[in-house]
Amino acid sequence: MKRIFSLLLGICLLSGCAGTAAETSASAETTASASASASAVLTDSERFSELYPDVPADNVFVFADQDSLMTMLEHGTGVIYLGFPECPWCQAYAPLLNEAMQASGITRVLYYNLYADKTEDPGYYSQAAEYLETLSTDLVHYDNDGNRKVLMPLVLFVQNGTLIGYDDETCDISSDDIAPEDYWTDEKKAALLSRLEALGTQTAEAQQANDAEGCDSGCSVTG
């Protein structure tokens, strides 16, 4: 009788170990899978580089949503880039903008694909176009039906919600007339970089001034 009891106890113990090992293995696989998924998450700059392959992964672009775009336009101080990856002119423009902003001290450029809203959220597209027109009538064009449209690539420089500069040099050039790589000669690139760097520097200085206001943290008072 004791032998039978011991045998049954041994079987139970072995079964328990097997179950624990299986559970441990499954837990390890779940952890590894979660870790792999976490490592697969891209930063904004990496995502942008995937959409715009000529822009290095270490870039200044941050993805904006509808709310953050309008907040920046209405109240913010910074740089906004409106473009879409299917546009060859936007592809050619993005690396030049990135180079100029890095040179001018801008570390963050809000990127928003407003073109997608033409079909996905036309109400927001109309709202954004209408607001851009209040900043400058030059930012908005009209189609044959009299509807507002925003041509891209378009970069905006705002200071406390006021437009201080913009560039849309190639927004209305057709690739049927000239290819972007033929348009952007060394001379034109140099001129664009100079303009963008000047606006970027002005914006970066305004950001620094805003950050210094109020002495909320670590201000030293002299005199």
DSSP string for residues in 176-205? TT--HHHH--HHHHHHHHHHHHHHHHHHHH
For 188-216, how does the pLDDT look when each residue is reduced to its tens digit (9 = 90+)? Answer: 999 999 999 999 999 999 999 999 986 54
Tokens found for residue 109: 């450029």
Q: Please say if the pLDDT value at position 69 is more than 60.
A: yes
Distance CA 49, CA 46 (A): 5
CB 195 within 8 A of CB 167: yes
Q: What is the pTM of this model?
A: 0.79
Q: 174-179 long-range contacts, Cβ below 8 Å, gap at least 24?
A: 175/88, 175/89, 179/88
Q: What are the backbone angles phi and psi of residue 27, rounded to the nearest 5°? A: -65, -40
The phi, psi pair for 19, rounded to 5°, reads: -65, -40
**Domains along the chain?**
44-204 (3.40.30.10)
pLDDT for position 76: 97
Q: Are 85 and 218 in contact (CB under 8 A)?
A: no
Distance of CA 213 to the CA centre of its chain: 27
Residue 92, pLDDT score: 98
Backbone angles phi, psi at 159, to 5 degrees: -130, 115
Give the pLDDT of residue 22.
43
Question: What six digits make up the tokens of 197?
Answer: 């760097």
Q: Give the number of other CB atoms < 10 A from CB of residue 107.
A: 11
The DSSP letter of residue 112 is E
**CA dist., res. 91 & res. 70, Å (int):** 24
SS3 123: helix
pLDDT tens digits, 24-35? 444 444 444 444
User: pLDDT tens, 90-124?
Assistant: 999 999 999 999 999 999 999 999 999 999 999 99
Distance CA 125, CA 51 (A): 21
For residues 145 and 181, what is the distance between their CA atoms, to the nearest angstrom? 33
Q: Residue 55: which of 96, 107, 102, 86 has the closest Cα?
A: 96
